[in-house]
Amino acid sequence: MTQACHRKCVPPQYRDAELSKGESVCLDRCVAKYLEVHERVGRKLTELSLQDEELLRRVQQGTGTA
């Protein structure tokens, strides 16, 4: 995330010691998007894991229906 957002938002040739307002806004949005996607992926993986556990439980009980 750090490298991706830095590449996207900060030019390779630094003009000032501090970030410009545009660079700061870009970095804020980039990080927010990254974290939102990370959260969504985590929720989906948890959901899939729970489904797998339920299917495995059914199969072990001999009532598995796929």
pTM to 2 decimal places? 0.69
Task: Please state, in angstroms and rounded to a whole number, the distance separating the CA atoms of residues 22 and 37.
Answer: 23
- Sequence length of the chain is 66
For position 14, what pLDDT does the model report? Answer: 85
Give the chain's domains with CATH numbers.
1-63 (1.10.287.810)
- The answer on pLDDT for 37 being more than 80 is yes
Q: What is the DSSP letter of 62?
A: T
Contact at 8 Å (CB) between 10 and 19?
A: yes
- The answer on pLDDT for 10 being more than 70 is yes
